[in-house]
Amino acid sequence: MNTGISTRLMAAVVLTAAGWSELATAATPAQLLAQYNAQAAAPSSAERGGILFTSRHASNWSCASCHGVQPTGLGQHAATGRPIQALAPAFNPERFTDAAKVEKWFRRNCKDVLGRECSASEKADVLSWLISLKP
């Protein structure tokens, strides 16, 4: 019985620690852009990022299908209708502040829109365009 409880307690501690380590990926949009730029071969282009964001690719969707052509206000999930908060960091300070979350969503959404994962240079392009959008 005691062993059971202590095992469970240990599991809880480990899980909590795992949760914290995932939280410990805090970053700023500028830091993330610098990281993607460092991985990419060429410097990023906000203009290219804007085009990538708003045009349709392999699927019927573009990034703008859910985030809006100007991702500075509320978007709407194309399938479920759920509201999506603004994506441009100047309009939503929570955006691009967690590296793991950013990677998770780039992975999922690039697969939905492009049918593949995005390259570091594509991520840098999109992020630099999003950062360039100002109130």
Partner 1 sequence: MPTKLKWTARRMAPLLLALLCLPWPIYAEDDEGERFASVPLLPLYKQECSACHVAYPPGLLPAQSWRRLMSGLPRHFGTDASLDATSVKQISDWLGKHAAPSAYGAWATPTEDRITRSAWFGRQHNEIPARTWKLPAVKSAANCAACHTRADQGDFNERYVRIPR
User: Which residues of this chain interact with partner 1, rule CB under 8 A?
Assistant: 15, 18, 22, 76-77, 79-82, 104, 107-109, 111-112
Minimal distance in Å, beta carbon 95 to partner 1? 13
Minimal distance in Å, beta carbon 30 to partner 1? 24
Give 77 or 132: the residue with its C-beta nearer to partner 1.
77
Minimal distance in Å, beta carbon 8 to partner 1? 13
Burial classification of residue 94, based on how many CB atoms lie within 10 Å of its CB (0-12 exposed, 13-18 middle, 19 or more buried): exposed
Give 28 or 82: the residue with its C-beta nearer to partner 1.
82
Minimal distance in Å, beta carbon 111 to partner 1? 4
Give 99 or 112: the residue with its C-beta nearer to partner 1.
112
Task: Report d(CA 21, CA 15) in Å as an integer.
Answer: 10
Task: Report d(CA 36, CA 122) in Å as an integer.
Answer: 9
CA-closest candidate to residue 130, choices 50, 75, 42 = 50
3-state secondary structure of 119: coil
Give 22 or 47: the residue with its C-beta nearer to partner 1.
22
- Do residues 82 and 74 lie in contact, with contact meaning Cβ atoms separated by under 8 Å? no
